[in-house]
Amino acid sequence: MRIVGLNGSLSSTSNTYKGVKAVLDHAAEHGAETVLFDLRDTPLPLFHPERRDQLADENVYRFISLMDEADGIVLGSPEYHNMMGGAFKNALEWVGGRQFKNKPVALISATGGPSSMTTLSAMQSMVRSLHGWVVPVFGSIPGTTEFKPNGEFRDPAMQLRFMTIGAELIELSKLLKQRRQDWEQR
């Protein structure tokens, strides 16, 4: 089972990154192979629909390949202007239904305010349009959230919530992988 996470924040102190990592760590504890694609280390060029030469970009190739091979996906975006961040949205323009169809997708968003539900709802709408299956438990990270040095949430309820997201993602990944295999054999 391969789970791929995307951190869509470029901030050096990103809470989005910490949330995506918490889900991936929990998935890894349950035997998943996890990969975190972090836009801070592997930036992607601005998507242009007519620039096919951009597909030769090393980071673009790696991102598309990882998403192709993923059985489950964790998407993390910062909340900017009540919406997905631009770098995050740009990354998603490099992929489409081929990478998302019949795959489960966990959604994480960090905000400066108390809740990033507007952004998470927009992310949900985007994933639905790509025919992905949204994990029902959302990962909203309020601006006041504190983390331990090992990356865990200080609040046990938050830690449990992100572990639940990881557990649901793994379970759905298994079910949907089987479903994709069944369809391929028809």
Q: Which lies closer to ligand FMN via its Cβ, residue 110 or residue 176?
A: 110
Inter-residue contact 48 to 55 (CB < 8 Å): no
The answer to whether 9 and 88 are in contact (CB under 8 A) is yes
Chain residues 132-151 in contact with ligand FMN, contact rule CB under 6 A? 143
Total number of residues that touch ligand FMN (CB under 6 A) = 15
Buried b (16+ CB within 10 A) or exposed e, 70-104: bbbbbbbbbbbeebbbebbbbbbebbeeebbeebb
Q: State yes or no: residue 15 binds ligand FMN (CB under 6 A).
A: yes
Shortest distance, position 116 Cβ to ligand FMN, whole Å: 7
Cα distance from N-terminal residue to C-terminal residue, the chain = 22
One residue of 43, 112, 136, 151 binding ligand FMN per CB under 6 A:
112
Q: Does 104 bind ligand FMN (CB under 6 A)?
A: no
Would you tell me which residues interact with ligand FMN (CB under 6 A)? 9, 11, 14-16, 78-82, 110-113, 143
